[in-house]
Amino acid sequence: MGNQMGCRPWSDLPLDILNLIIRRLPTNIDQIHFRLVCKNWHLAELPGYESNIPWLLSFHWHFDLGDDMAQLISFHIPSRSNRCQITKNMVEEELELYGAEICASKYGWLLLQKSDKAYFYNPFSRKAIKLPNMDIDFNRATFSSSPISPDCICFAIQSSKSSDKIRFSICSPGNLEWCTIEVDGFNKAVEDVVYSNGNFYCIFSGGILGAFCVASCNWSMLTCMEPIIEMQVWSRSSFVESNGELLLVFCSTNFHVYRFDWPEMGWIEIHKLGNQALFLGSLWKELGFNHPIFSSYEFNRTEQVYPL
């Protein structure tokens, strides 16, 4: 009995051994699959990859030569200027997702919309979570936290130049229906929405900002109704929450970044981001760290790129 050795499961391999193994795998895809085996193996470090920089995902559906439907996923790793692709044939559970559009991406999950249907989808695990059918034709949508978290809330908003009403819908995975609220609007198109500290912040054309409080289901305007003049002639804005701050980015001939100033309840233009980077839009742009230099990575015109 004393000479018998106990058997440990493969999932209990020490982290230093996991790191040695993952460095010897030939491709990024193999490394991704290695980390998906179990929670312990997920702790292995991706070689040469900075963990605080998100991967960018390009995702679309296509048919292969055998007329089987498949999904083509491209990952771009900014810190390594590296790009790799995964092509997977769709399983039966994924066929319903074909043709869906990506509304938002966070925490490794995509929020998908197809007609009045909405889903969460994880391209790594291929897990899908169906939400109740939508009862509004929304302009923008996002979510607060990982869909597998008990406090996840999905938020959709409908507002346009042709309507004097704003409609909000909120829902959590597992709910049987969306809760929809209608308030007086102001004939402005909503351009983007972000979540921060219990509120969904909505940016409208011209830099007009409003907030929807989840706890009270209350809607309030944070800026005056007059648009910021400099913003009126620019293209659609990108709205970002970063380190608790709300940032608004416009692009004309150059990038312009505004930070929302809470004491003044207005936008202030800033020229440096400090020790951070922003990842914006479907044609992704990277905004520099300690200097106002902006770099861009352009993808195929049919591709939409999302930070994960």
Mean pLDDT of all residues in 209-229: 88
Q: DSSP state, 178?
A: -
Comparing 3-17, 101-115, 126-140, 269-283, the range with the smallest average pLDDT is 269-283
Q: 73 falls in which pLDDT band (50, 70, 90)? A: low
With bands split at pLDDT 50, 70 and 90, how would you rate the model's confidence at 1? very low
User: Which range among 120-134, 139-153, 216-230 shows the weakest confidence by mean pLDDT?
Assistant: 216-230
Kind plus residue range of the DSSP H or E element containing 250: strand 245-251
Q: Which spans in 175-232 are helix H?
A: 229-232
Angle at CA of residue 301, ends 95 and 50, nearest 5°? 80
Residue 242 predicted with pLDDT over 80: yes
Coil vs helix vs strand at 43: helix
Least confident of 140-149, 157-166, 214-223, 224-233: 224-233
Q: Residues 249, 255: contact at Cβ < 8 Å?
A: yes
- The predicted pLDDT at position 3 comes to 54
From CA 50, how far away is CA 163, in angstroms rounded? 45
Q: What is the pTM of this model?
A: 0.74
249 vs 209, residue with greater confidence: 209
Binned at pLDDT 50, 70 and 90, residue 296 comes out as: very low
What pLDDT shows up at residue 118? 92
Residue 238, pLDDT score: 83
Mean pLDDT of 156-175: 92
Confidence of residue 281 (pLDDT cuts 50, 70, 90): low
What does the alpha-carbon distance between residue 242 and residue 26 come to, in Å, rounded to a whole number?
Answer: 35
Question: Which position has the higher pLDDT, 75 or 245?
Answer: 245
Give me the half-sphere count of Cα atoms (radius 13 Å) on the Cβ side of residue 120.
24
